[in-house]
Amino acid sequence: MQIPAINRRAMDKYREFVAAMDVVLESFDSLDAVIARIEPKKAAGGWSVATKKELQGYRARAFDELERLRTIAKKYEAELVSREWRV
């Protein structure tokens, strides 16, 4: 049995999820600018900071994980559409 209100809610929640992933994806552009400004000197007060190379690696790993999540979400969207968004 399908309940239209629940189906609409499922579609809205999915749209919010995809929009949130898009916002994170857009933030990667500004992250590149921040990483480029990192200077290879020691931080004051005994703090240690990651190198540019380490930060670029973290960024690449996060980007790959986001892309993997987007792929899974698309697969799940196809399943939801085939079941007419029943939860």
- Name the pTM for this structure: 0.74
**Per-residue pLDDT averaged across 9-20, rounded?**
89
Per-residue pLDDT tens digits for 44-68: 667 777 888 999 999 999 999 999 9
In degrees rounded to 5, what are phi and psi of residue 41? -115, 165
Q: What is the spatial distance between Cα 70 and Cα 63, in angstroms, rounded to a whole number?
A: 10
Q: What is the spatial distance between Cα 75 and Cα 40, in angstroms, rounded to a whole number?
A: 42
Tell me the domain boundaries of the chain: 4-82
- Position 62 scores a pLDDT of 96
10, 41, 62, 81 from 38: Cα distances, Å? 42, 9, 19, 45
Q: What is the spatial distance between Cα 58 and Cα 50, in angstroms, rounded to a whole number?
A: 10
